[in-house]
Amino acid sequence: MNQDFDRILIKQCSPTLARLKPASLFCIFTDRPDQLYRRVFEWNRLLGASGITVRILKFCKRNSSFLIYVYRPKLLWDVLSRTEILDFLFGMGYETVSNPDRLLKQLSCRLCLNQEFPHEIGAFLGYPLTDVIGFIEHKGRDFTFSGYWKSYGDPVEAQKRFSLYRKCTSVYQKMFENGTPIERLAVAA
């Protein structure tokens, strides 16, 4: 079971493990939440030395789904503390704070309490602000390129970035299948 959880994490979060992006998000459906909670605890133990934190942002009892957020707190704060990002989040109703944990708690509340999905989550995943705002304003349409997310900026730059993420994921999946443990795949902070 742990191998299955690890495979999902590697498939969805390799660019974060490789320190190419500050955070990743994925959904897991499981009828054994106790095993997932233990695995999240274990991931934090194994990956913490590399500067990676894993947390459950949302649990949906109805279908036993979990939104898992894997992030590098320092890299995340480097992104979120930019004036334009803080201004954007403030405009979306977030309280201005001086650390990413408080912002993540606000995001988690929005995920759990709001009917609509909080598309500003892209800022928490390291997406360019142009893409986050473009997605919200265009309601997911009229994008210039689509890959890991919908891009509203330079399609060539987006294509390069997505290609790098795909290559990273492919290499990490091969390494894991060949026996490299997850903690060795995590690039140190």
- The answer, yes or no, to whether residue 1 has pLDDT greater than 60, is no
pTM: 0.95
Q: Write the secondary structure of the chain as one string of H (helix), E (strand) and C (coil).
A: CHHHHHHHHHHHHHHHHCCCCCEEEEEEECCCHHHHHHHHHHHHHHHHHHCCEEEEEEEECCCCEEEEEEECHHHHHHHHCCHHHHHHHHHCCCCCCCCHHHHHHHHHHHHHHCCCCCCCHHHHCCCCHHHHHHHHHHCCCCCCEECCCEECCCHHHHHHHHHHHHHHHHHHHHHHHCCCCHHHHCCCC
Looking at the predicted structure, is the pLDDT value of residue 154 above 70? yes
Which comes out higher in pLDDT, residue 134 or 64? Answer: 134
Q: Where are the domains of the chain?
A: 5-179
pLDDT above 90 as % of the chain? 86
Task: Please determine, for residue 79, whether its predicted confidence score (pLDDT) is greater than 70.
Answer: yes
Residue 189 has pLDDT above 80, yes or no: no
pLDDT attached to residue 134: 98
